[in-house]
Structure 1
């Protein structure tokens, strides 16, 4: 499609937003029009079911969906008749003037993808470049992504505490900044791409919010500044440094391996207020015979930062190469795809990489003088959505554990969280169970295998007894040393508290 230099931000876009609402171009309106099957297919970037649903009616909503959600050509006369009235003057001429559509003969096409987006309580509109599913050809390297799986993941896992200053590092089209605007007094958003910042400015305008937009790499635009909350969906994709692989701005930060994310974390202490939190997505390389916890743990050495990292997925080098060689519209089996595939494999071989992990990193600068906590966990199954409340509670719990130590845990009266259940399994005819599992219904969906003593402890966590009192009573019943039982049980109890299975 090429660049559209006449894309204009400004207060005039508030009237467009009002008319989109009136026409029903909202998340609920589009879902109702398309139905569950076509809606689900569109989320997978498959347009055909939605095309069939919207092909008949010339309603303003159907035309808006065909134009901006499907990227299909629409008869110019239909646009003028349906939209000019329904959108109070936002017909072809005005849409052309704002750079939102292009006209060719009797047809009008969208110049950008423009879709409604909601978080459950707020409705926004997000403009981005047309995806490959609309253009039918590989993306340009300056492509600005819209709302994808990674941006949704970060938005789901991000804290929603009220904060004074928030930073969206690598904002792209501004999805994370929209969420931040709901709970931050000031939002600073940065990106290396001037095009991304232009699109972010447009999205701020139509949604009636204001951001401090700055251009530059990583923390260069905010040198010397600190924030209460930093979120980042950085260009973390591990990319070979070879001409055979395009340098997509939205995914490639120009570094070797996972260096970009490692350097980003190293700079965080200079940009977080005491008690401040940073959250980001990342990939990390794991060498043959290595462990991802050792790799990522090394990034935090000497930083003084709390770290809570959850690995959500792993891929071998070939899987990773296939995913990203095919990203952006490059088809498997073509010469270009095969060249990129080979370049990725060679790049991984040069560093003896056996696998690549993907996960969510939550970092906190301690507000008190204490040893930082480090928690590296795996959660590859379904998790609660949104995860933000779970992360917030988990971060507070881990902070409390780091501050009070084992002595504080022993003095505390815990309760079992409402979503926790117990499973007991044994051999047929056996008098006692051979496996006892404490299972969490929400959050990270933790399943913790415990022994008889720990199962007994959890069963009496009703807020009446301190941990010390409960363990001592259980030790007496089992005729074991109270000191030994405390030593054995405390690590698991701390884990149960950290992940919200036990609450204060």
Structure 2
């Protein structure tokens, strides 16, 4: 499924003129929403383009860009020449931005606004299968999809000196990185991806170093303060149908490779964040599997967001490449894929986020946990705070009894009462953190009473002694039972130090 399509010529001169045209027309994230209106914009997001087409007819040059790049429609030469000025339609075709047809011009690339809280960029990618009318070629450069957006939200944005984006694709991770990193380097194995990413950066007047090569090879012997990676994490037989999703490695070996190698490219204390997939087999627990990938002296937080049934997984990715699972081709591919899963005893495919930190000379903390509930807050700030809390616990591991803790106001205690012989009886006590990812912990009555005393006034040891005396328990035994619970609640931000006692 290779392609002989020539690379676009997104030169600095072409991008400067295109940028001028976009700015003049207000072709940005806010401009598009304003032109279409909320209802039509929402309809477009649902895959219903007609309301957006109608709304765009009164939007002048902005409407032309919307119909070309967002709706995939043909525009007459006069409208194109007016909207793209000072870039001529002929120059846009020569650059690979547009293609000429008998009735006018169509988009040859997907160029669309992408914004954050601080402003708007343009992202250059390839047209998807719906726009092309056929399956995409092997070197297809994906647009900003759900996986990209989820990694953006899961990435820490604390200021850093240097950041590496491995497998940059259209460059969207690097775009966001320029907000908080002084220097950004992006790599990709695909020449086409690098050409489109270069266009993305030139359009946005950003200086990003681009280097070509597989995995970490282009930056051998270099280290960074932060590394982000959205790897080709689709699991299954070792094949490459599409470079944006298939690694050519079997099973979850692509995710394992990144987890094993990434910490070696971090400065001490540096942080890596990536999307990953892992196999659930009948031979081992998934947490044991991914923990084996880790190099020494690496803090790691594996957060499992979903587990897919093998049959559902295969059908989803067949549709991703535009193949009907009911077709002869779809049935043959599904059979080979499912045979591989059966041969390797695959019961499910886990997917989620991985946060890594190089912790040279320290005893690492490795935590694997499920986070499949829905939540609204981005995970990036939580990941950064999780690393802070891990470091605090490492520094105070032998002194927790001397610390005065408090329960944040964002943590609530929920009770479930059931009718019993003497009236209502509490059967479940659950702590619920109402911000971040919404962590929940079930606790017993003793833990509930201990936490009620955590108001920042008394050290944990004093609270345990008071509770032990009230319950007729041995303080040492109660402390041994309480400390693991305290550590877990601290890691999840549900119990915070109020300062030394």
Whether TM-score is above 0.5 comes out as yes
**Partner-residue secondary structure (3-state), 1:370:** coil
Q: CA deviation at 1:7?
A: 2.3
Pairing 1:249–2:243 present: yes
| Greater strand content | 2
Distance in 1, Cα, partners of 2:217 & 2:453? 53
Match of 2:369 among 360, 369, 377: 377
Distance in 1, Cα, partners of 2:468 & 2:130? 64
Distance in 1, Cα, partners of 2:14 & 2:89? 16
The answer for the alignment partner of 2:81 in structure 1 is: 80
Q: CA deviation at 1:453?
A: 1.8
Q: CA deviation at 1:289?
A: 5.1
Pairing 1:258–2:257 present: no
Pairing 1:180–2:171 present: no
Q: CA deviation at 1:328?
A: 2.0
**Partner-residue secondary structure (3-state), 1:434:** strand
Q: CA deviation at 1:383?
A: 2.5
Give deviations 1:340-367, integer Å, cap 9, x for gaps.
Answer: 1112101111211111100101111115
Give deviations 1:239-282, integer Å, cap 9, x for gaps.
Answer: 3236xxx6200001110111122122222342111101111111
Residues 303, 44 of structure 1: alpha-carbon distance in 2 compared, 3 angstrom cutoff: farther
Match of 1:98 among 95, 100, 103: 95
Query: Is the 1:14–1:207 Cα contact (8 Å) retained in structure 2?
Result: no
The answer for the alignment partner of 1:155 in structure 2 is: 152
Question: Superposed, which structure 2 residues align to 1:333-372 within 5 Å?
Answer: 333-367=326-360, 369-372=361-364
**How many residues are aligned here?**
493
Query: Is the 1:332–1:338 Cα contact (8 Å) retained in structure 2?
Result: yes
The answer for the alignment partner of 2:392 in structure 1 is: 400
Match of 1:471 among 464, 467, 470: 464
Distance in 2, Cα, partners of 1:495 & 1:207? 43
Residues 142, 45 of structure 1: alpha-carbon distance in 2 compared, 3 angstrom cutoff: farther
Distance in 2, Cα, partners of 1:454 & 1:18? 62
The answer for the alignment partner of 1:413 in structure 2 is: 404
Match of 1:305 among 298, 301, 304: 298
The answer for the alignment partner of 1:139 in structure 2 is: 136
Q: CA deviation at 1:6?
A: 4.1
The answer for the alignment partner of 2:205 in structure 1 is: 208
Residues 46, 170 of structure 1: alpha-carbon distance in 2 compared, 3 angstrom cutoff: farther
Query: Is the 2:428–2:442 Cα contact (8 Å) retained in structure 1?
Result: yes
Query: Is the 2:73–2:106 Cα contact (8 Å) retained in structure 1?
Result: yes
Give deviations 1:421-460, integer Å, cap 9, x for gaps.
Answer: 1112212463552211110112121111111221122223
Query: Is the 1:266–1:303 Cα contact (8 Å) retained in structure 2?
Result: no
Distance in 2, Cα, partners of 1:44 & 1:172? 24
Question: Superposed, which structure 2 residues align to 1:446-465 within 5 Å?
Answer: 446-465=439-458
Q: CA deviation at 1:487?
A: 1.4
Match of 1:286 among 280, 289, 295: 280
Residues 42, 399 of structure 1: alpha-carbon distance in 2 compared, 3 angstrom cutoff: farther
Pairing 1:484–2:484 present: no
Q: CA deviation at 1:34?
A: 2.8
Q: CA deviation at 1:465?
A: 2.0
Query: Is the 1:46–1:133 Cα contact (8 Å) retained in structure 2?
Result: no
* Unaligned stretches of 5+ residues in structure 2: none
Residues 68, 411 of structure 1: alpha-carbon distance in 2 compared, 3 angstrom cutoff: same
Q: CA deviation at 1:12?
A: 5.5
The answer for the alignment partner of 2:269 in structure 1 is: 275
Distance in 2, Cα, partners of 1:40 & 1:341? 34
Query: Is the 2:121–2:204 Cα contact (8 Å) retained in structure 1?
Result: yes
Distance in 1, Cα, partners of 2:290 & 2:459? 36
TM-score with structure 1 length normalisation?
0.93
Query: Is the 2:167–2:186 Cα contact (8 Å) retained in structure 1?
Result: yes
Query: Is the 2:61–2:79 Cα contact (8 Å) retained in structure 1?
Result: no
Q: CA deviation at 1:123?
A: 1.3
